[in-house]
Structure 1
């Protein structure tokens, strides 16, 4: 899921949503929803540098869909800061769009509301079959053992991006492959008012993405196999402390980053104030900051030692955007046609190229447009060293409460307050107490 900052209000009690979604309506009693309308409403997530960029990318494609099918698509692009709350409100009221984008990490949480159309064999057949999609993308579409709640639309992964000029000026010949190397390089880069690496301490979901990966490197999952919150394990505590210590202990992150929200670290990176960022889909976002492609380089995100891989070698979450259909749409047939269109090879190539993401459709992913070295690093990461965030109903609450705990710890670090193993465990325990009891 890309650049999400879910508000605390988004972590509503899902049992209330379940109740309301079950009685929300407007669809035929059998749920077929294949009737009448020649119009679909579509909520798109903000993938470009701003909402207007998304409208310029999507509108011509939606017009082409209308020309091919006669179905008009009313588009609304929703900022990430609002999207989860809007979806949960729609699920509660039963009055949602026909089709919508969701961050793939929310799949199981939104699945549990009962508001989304399950993608059973029949529905997958209507869009060309489930086997068209890569396995890593399908792994973030809902809880294990259930029909997916959505289908993959855009795939992404994290990598380490570095400012070539700043590396040259510091006499560093190659990007770091391990965290020890990153910290050593960071000491050389953090001088004269510049810092080694940017973080977005006020961006709750970005906090989660980074500490989840570090948790995997420390052997922690943040949830037990039966789905109970496990935020205070030694591995989880070590992961959060390692991330915050980039500022608190090693001082290679500028204190102001504690308050940074979505995309704010990019300006520093583009203006030679920060040498590295852990990021997704660089092409569009870096270009929007005025960076030319030859100004930055890319390498796999660091691991503790050795090379990236599975287990403690995981170096990215499986990032991406899924496409879902509201179960009570009055135009299910049209919605399925739209999903088929958006996941068809032609649109997959066009849209993922526009956004700098990777097609989750196997055949589209093989297009030469996605053979660029920078994209190849992301494809290799998704194929070999990425893991899906926990596919549990409480995942959205996890993003909010643990993301907020990390934000608080960054604030402590920026203010010069000590960040210790004990203080990290205490914040994570507070977060765990806010989770539903099982």
Structure 2
């Protein structure tokens, strides 16, 4: 999913499921017309570009194209990430929401548990061209194992290491780091005179989770056991979180002010030459919007201890991305299916993913040369070789909130000069684990 500041979830998934199950025929849903003759649809799109207006410019002509082909008008609302999850949760309880919507793929199982989303069984997949069109890794982040997906992959994303070529050259660094030891060493050479080696967004809960999850894999931790019970205080989970915080607390390659950073603030520091490296999903459009030229930055895989990304302990990214979903009590089911088919068509997948710098989860669309450039190639290879989905469990959104907050608080400790120890990290994670049980 696209990076966001995690919303505060004010109701439990269990309660949401009970209310959503009682929503019935969806009188508040749909953009007009009946399922026999849909005339309009409402669509909540996530903010994928540098800002909401950029998304409207990208999506507007495509939605007009869909209307010309089908006679169905799409009423678009682009929702910023900090608001999206709470808006969706409110829609599942109130019955007032869109026909079609984008969701972060990490939320798939949580929203699936509400019972509000259409299940993509064989029949529904057939209506959009079949399940086999999609990459298997992308389908892993569409809902709980053993159940029909709750959504369809739309944009696939993975993390990469972006580095400022000029700052590297000025520091006498000839290539991007492949291991964490190299990253710390490079960061220390750069971190002086108001410049910093690495950027972070310590105030953004979901980014915290994404980084900790990938590092956790490298330490042999999953944060949940096979039964879905939280294991936040395992040695591997504690070591992963401490390693991330230590980039600020011990290694001092992240500026203390980053402890409070929210959405995209670290990207602006990178684009304006204040930070030399950033770990991020597709970011080219944002860098360009902030005045950086494509030749100014390089892209490399996120470091791993061995220097060679792969499976198991060499995982270097969570499997990120956006899924497109349909509220199952929409009055315009056929129109919604037509729209999902349009958005996941080979042509639209090539066009939209090129616009956003993401990778198409539709196999045929990846044949476009645009996805073989060096930057997109790194993302594509990470997705297929060294990315893993966040736990597809009903409590995933609570995981983002509780552990993401623990990491935020630890960054605040580091910024204030307070010691960050194995014991203090474990205590924060123990509190987060207790919150999961409430």
Give the structure-2-normalised TM-score.
0.97
Distance, in Å, in 1 between the alignment partners of 2:153 and 2:72 is 22
Task: Map 1:310-389; keep pairs closer than 5 Å.
Answer: 310-389=311-390
Determine the structure 2 residue equivalent to 1:88.
Answer: 89
Instruction: Confirm or deny: 8 A CA contact 1:199 1:277 kept in the other structure.
Output: yes
Instruction: Confirm or deny: 8 A CA contact 1:24 1:95 kept in the other structure.
Output: no
* Structure 1 counterpart SS, 2:197: strand
Distance 1:362 1:376, change over 3 A: same
Distance, in Å, in 1 between the alignment partners of 2:127 and 2:270 is 44
Deviation at 1:119, TM superposition (A): 0.2
Aligned positions, number: 432
Determine the structure 1 residue equivalent to 2:165.
Answer: 164
Runs of 4+ residues over 4 Å off in structure 1:
none
Task: Map 1:179-258; keep pairs closer than 5 Å.
Answer: 179-258=180-259
Instruction: Confirm or deny: 8 A CA contact 1:152 1:323 kept in the other structure.
Output: yes
Instruction: Confirm or deny: 8 A CA contact 2:370 2:376 kept in the other structure.
Output: no
Determine the structure 1 residue equivalent to 2:116.
Answer: 115
* Structure 1 counterpart SS, 2:63: helix
Deviation at 1:11, TM superposition (A): 5.2
Deviation at 1:27, TM superposition (A): 4.5
Cα-to-partner distance string for 1:67-92 (whole Å, 9 max, x where unaligned): 00000100000010000000001011
Distance, in Å, in 1 between the alignment partners of 2:229 and 2:289 is 41
Cα-to-partner distance string for 1:180-202 (whole Å, 9 max, x where unaligned): 01111111011111110000000
Cα-to-partner distance string for 1:23-78 (whole Å, 9 max, x where unaligned): 113359xxxx8334311000000000000000010011001100000001000000
Deviates further, 184-193 or 205-214: 184-193
Distance, in Å, in 1 between the alignment partners of 2:15 and 2:38 is 30
Structure 1 unmatched runs, 5+: none
Determine the structure 2 residue equivalent to 1:140.
Answer: 141
Task: Map 1:269-284; keep pairs closer than 5 Å.
Answer: 269-284=270-285
Deviation at 1:283, TM superposition (A): 1.8
* Structure 2 counterpart SS, 1:391: coil
Determine the structure 2 residue equivalent to 1:266.
Answer: 267
Deviation at 1:203, TM superposition (A): 0.6
Distance, in Å, in 2 between the alignment partners of 1:50 and 1:185 is 32
Distance 1:188 1:112, change over 3 A: same
Instruction: Confirm or deny: 8 A CA contact 1:23 1:94 kept in the other structure.
Output: no
Deviation at 1:306, TM superposition (A): 3.5
Distance, in Å, in 1 between the alignment partners of 2:37 and 2:376 is 42
Distance, in Å, in 2 between the alignment partners of 1:352 and 1:315 is 22
Give the structure-1-normalised TM-score.
0.97
Determine the structure 1 residue equivalent to 2:3.
Answer: 3
